[in-house]
Amino acid sequence: MAKIIVVTSGKGGVGKTTSAAAIATGLALRGNKTIVIDFDVGLRNLDLIMGCERRVVYDLVNVIQGEATLNQAMIRDKRTENLFILPASQTRDKDALTPEGVEQILNNLKDEFDYIICDSPAGIERGAQLAMYYADEAIVVTNPEVSSVRDSDRILGLLGSKTRLAEQGKEQVKEHLLITRYNPHRVDHGDMLNLNDITEILSIKLLGLIPESEAVLRASNQGVPVTHDDDSDAGQAYADTVSRLLGEDVPLRFHEAQKKSFLSRMFGGRR
């Protein structure tokens, strides 16, 4: 039985799609059969991050409306074994997604996969609520910024009330905090919320910390999830995040500013 994990945030542009792609890739690289589903109907871009945009024929909405089978719509990742993508529609409007349709798709996938990763659209409305509704666990993506932290708190409120698990009242959706675009230099200067403050304010468990990194843009340019760039800080940080998701105890990295060497300071290293 697959574990359903929603990647969500409230605020837009904080790194949900980047994270969903990177984490799904990491899970598959570790031998778990994984599918990542784009719930951002109308604004799909998971396929771009995964580098499979030219292989999209059918999408989530086609399947829900019976115009294609699940097998026709699923795209097998070219690089990673065990990894599949279910793209969103670019043209339909958001109302094409129905709770019943989503439930049916998830039920059909549950037996075949170990992990189902749902890439949520931004916002706290219908689309975001549908993406989280059937989740067993949630990864709340947060940037070290007031508006992002506030929205994350609102998402936590929804996870605790507007999900199937919450409505059944038996157990809660397991909540994980993923801080992204973290810049330890700015934190040191007192210009950015530090990770302890964010975890304290939201009071959920920290799953991972992804530094602000040039590798992320490079990865999205190439359409290769950043997890494959295992020399990069962000790639390694996502790999650590996946390990923790799998229950391993991995120490935190990339949360402290690298001391600049004398030479790089002299000759103006990158900032």
Partner 1 sequence: MKLLDFLKRERKKSASVAKERLQIIVAHQRGHRGQPDYMPMLEQELLEVIRRYVSVDQDAVNITLDSEDDCSILELNVTLPNSKDDT
Ligand X SMILES: Nc1ncnc2c1ncn2[C@@H]1O[C@H](COP(=O)(O)OP(=O)(O)OP(=O)(O)O)[C@@H](O)[C@H]1O
| Site residues (vs ligand X, CB under 6 A) | 9, 12-18, 40, 122, 180-181, 210, 212-213, 216-217, 220, 234
Quickly list H helices, 111-232. Answer: 126-133, 146-159, 164-168, 184-188, 195-202, 214-222
Residue 200 CB-density burial (10 A; 0-12 exposed, 13-18 middle, 19+ buried): exposed
Out of 126, 154, 253, 265, the residue judged to bind partner 1 by CB under 8 A: 154
Among residues 5, 6, 14, 17, which is the contact residue for Mg ion, using CB under 5 A? Answer: 17
User: Rounded to whole angstroms, what are the CA distances from 212 to 5, 28, 55, 89, 241?
Assistant: 24, 24, 30, 30, 15
Q: Which does 189 bind (CB under 5 to 8 A by kind): ligand X, Mg ion, partner 1, none?
A: partner 1
User: What is d(CA 3, CA 109) in angstroms, rounded to the nearest whole number?
Assistant: 10
Of the ranges 40-48, 142-150, 215-223, 257-265, which one interacts with partner 1 (CB under 8 A)?
142-150
CB closer to Mg ion out of 46 and 242: 46
Q: HSE-up of 119 (CA within 13 Å, CB side)?
A: 31
Give the residue, chosen from 3, 11, 16, 176, that forms a contact with Mg ion under the rule CB under 5 A: 16
SS (H, E, C) 94-146: HHHCCHHHHHHHHHHHHCCCCEEEEECCCCCCHHHHHHHHCCCEEEEEECCCH
CB closer to partner 1, 105 vs 155: 155
Q: Which is nearer to partner 1, 194 or 243 (CB)?
A: 194
Question: Residue 185 interacts with partner 1 (CB under 8 A)?
Answer: no
CB nearer to partner 1: pick between 197 and 230: 197
Pick from 161, 168, 221, 262 the residue near partner 1 by CB under 8 A: 161
Token representation of residue 192? 């950015």
Give contact residues for partner 1 (rule: CB under 8 A): 145-146, 149-150, 153-154, 157, 160-161, 187, 189-194, 197, 201-202
